[in-house]
Amino acid sequence: MDVPSEFPPLGSASEGVSNSLSRNWNKVFAPDLSAPKAFHFSHHPSEPEIIPFSNDKLSKGDEEWNLCLVGYSIGRRPFYEALLGAINKTWSLKGSLQLLSLNDSFFLLRFACQEDFNMAWSRGVLFLLGKPFVLQKWHPKFKPKKEDLSTVPIWVKIHDLPLACWNSEGISRIASKIGIPVAADKLTEHKTRLTYARICVLVDNLATYSEEILVSLDGDVVTLKVQY
């Protein structure tokens, strides 16, 4: 006497389970129709071992990220919130700025307008949170990599500089307490802004940054404030 089986035949069962699972997964990953869809995926089973991306295809990403700079601090990675606050305090931006974390202590700075991007790139190395912050320009083949820098250029303001020292020799001797002086801005050279001298100096990547420089004016000691 045949005993009735509790299961349907294997052939129809397999197909049934497969179709059921397929339908269930489609429901699980079904898009939220109320929200805009950012990605439209497709299957490419015939890609070669090394997947090629031509310049034409890379240019699609360039349109989205062309107003981006990549930056990193010399030394320990800063905290995200502190870095964002320091950047917003340093720059007066026309548009918005998005700060995104990358691997290996890198940050992506995504600007909303060309004017802000040009301004930031023209400033070169920044001094944020007590350390130099190096900027690099993003491009489609960009791969974050820290440069092997023994020295970095930074701009400093020397406040309360005595007018008798406001010359090549005086500024050179004073700025040499920070690093190697290489340039001054036009207002410093023309002596048309006397509240501070703004000098670009090369500093060692392991340097410490003093906020004061002492000078003796024929025996009278004066303290000069340094702002990085």
Q: What is the DSSP string of 57-126?
A: HHHHHHHHHTTEEEEEESSSPPPHHHHHHHHHHH---SS-EEEEE-STT-EEEEESSHHHHHHHHHT-SE
Q: Is residue 125 located within the same domain as residue 161? A: no
68: tokens are 């981006």
Q: Is residue 67 located within the same domain as residue 129? A: yes
Q: Is residue 121 located within the same domain as residue 179? A: no
The reply to whether 110 falls in a domain is yes
Is the model more confident about 114 or about 16?
114
> What is the count of structural domains for the chain?
2
d(CA 62, CA 17): 45
The reply to whether 145 falls in a domain is no
Q: Is residue 126 located within the same domain as residue 158? A: no
pTM of the model: 0.64
Average pLDDT in the chain: 84
Q: Which residues pair with 216 in a beta bridge?
A: 221
Q: Is residue 63 located within the same domain as residue 131? A: yes
Query: Tell me, what's the pLDDT at 56?
Result: 77
Q: Which residues contact 55 (CB under 8 A, 6 or more apart)?
A: 140
Contact 102, 203 (CB under 8 A): no
Q: Which domain holds residue 159?
A: 151-227
The reply to whether 6 falls in a domain is no
Q: What average pLDDT does this structure show over 201-215?
A: 87
Instruction: Tell me the C-alpha to C-alpha distance, in Å, between residue 185 and each of 29, 142, 152, 175.
Output: 58, 32, 18, 14
| Final residue before a domain boundary, out of 89, 108, 137 | 137
Tell whether the model's pLDDT for residue 14 goes beyond 80.
Answer: no
Is the model more confident about 117 or about 7?
117
The reply to whether 203 falls in a domain is yes
Q: Is residue 101 located within the same domain as residue 170? A: no
